[in-house]
Amino acid sequence: MRHDFGWVFVWVFLINTIFSVVANNITRTHPIRDGETIVSTGEKFAFGFFSPRGSDLRYVGIWYNKVKIQSVVWVANRERPILGNGGIVAIGDDGNLIIREGNGRIVWSSNVKVGESNSSTFLRDTCNLVLSVGENSKLPLWQSFNFPTDTYLPDMEIHMDIHEGGEKRVFTSWRNATDPSPGNYTMGVDPLEVRSTYLFVFKLTNEGNGSVYFTYTPSSNSDLVRFQIGWEWIQRQERWINDGNLWSKVQQHPSEECDWYNHCGAFGKCSSMDENNCICVEGFVPTDSEQWRRGNWTGGCVRRTQLRRCAVGNVLTMEDGKTDGFVVVQNVKLPDFVDYIGNEEVY
């Protein structure tokens, strides 16, 4: 009797290969273990376990599927990594997406009220990881777009409430190159500065009641473009270059030293045209002359002569009878988050 075990092996191999490529979801009966991934429909992004370069800790995140350099764009358990390779991503008993250690302890959950026993998680080609009932559900129960990490991508909707005290979603840097836990720097949009519907290739959509969101669409849909806030506090826009297998910088901010926050300290003025970058405004001297000579200007400047003034009517006068005044400082950019205080009738 002839047994075609070879054909059985080939069919099993082909079936496993096909399903490992096309699977883009996690269900109650289809979890993923460390070493397995799900891939978005167009094979643009992958979701699974990874370790940052130089680290043995295991995280769950999303990265570009066909970019040869590991380029993680979203991390779930950024504050609770897993030791060892026993981790599992699954749909929990309550319908939430969960991450479990090998001992069964839950280290992360989507933590929403699901109310459905047949929820699933899908990875979309926009890089949005969605928990829903059915892949085409218009009302996801949870989505990663609402919980960004450090990277903003095309077609990602960033929602904001422009009312005072309203929710502002921001991107938070990694702590360092090997630790994706929340770092010291954030990137976002100031709603007070949003004036028009279209800002270059950004589009602002008003949903009403003070709720708005913006999206970014690159000039070419084939380009892989990302905006990222680095752990060293540099915000970059980069484009992937296939021929060179590298991320090419489109722009970055700060682009020069004078854009660095508090570079010259209080009452200091920065000029990229000057060799020493920083000078004190008129009437001020360095707080620490030695540090200033060494190129550490963050201590700023203090008044050369303390003001001695008293009020006579509405005029401020010095003790010798001279009046106080203001010195005009030209061709400077005001600090971020400046507050304008004064008479609205003054132009």
Distances (CA, A) of 135 to 30, 36, 254, 275: 15, 20, 40, 59
pLDDT of residue 192: 58
Asked whether residue 116 carries a pLDDT value surpassing 80, the answer given is: no
The phi and psi torsions of 58 (rounded to 5 degrees) equal: -110, 130
Each residue of 271-291: pLDDT tens digit? 877 777 899 998 899 999 999
pLDDT of residue 8: 40
pLDDT of residue 341: 47
Q: What is the 3-state secondary structure (H, E, C) of 287-339?
A: CCHHHHHCCCCCCCEEECCCCCEEEECCEEEECCCCECCCCCCCCCCCCCCCC
Each residue of 239-275: pLDDT tens digit? 999 888 899 999 888 888 888 878 899 999 998 777 7
pLDDT of residue 319: 57
Asked whether residue 57 carries a pLDDT value surpassing 70, the answer given is: yes
Mean pLDDT of the chain: 81
Side chain identity, residue 214: F
Alpha-carbon span 123 to 134, nearest angstrom: 12
Side chain identity, residue 247: W
Q: Of the ranges 11-25, 44-58, 195-209, which one carries the lowest mean pLDDT score?
A: 11-25
- Report the relative pairing of strands 97-100 and 106-109 from DSSP bridges: antiparallel
Q: What is the 3-state secondary structure (H, E, C) of 96-108?
A: CEEEECCCCCEEE
CA 344 to chain centre: 37
Asked whether residue 335 carries a pLDDT value surpassing 80, the answer given is: no
Give the rounded percent of residues in the chain with a pLDDT score beyond 90. Answer: 46
pLDDT of residue 61: 97
Q: Which helix (H) or strand (E) holds 12?
A: helix 5-22
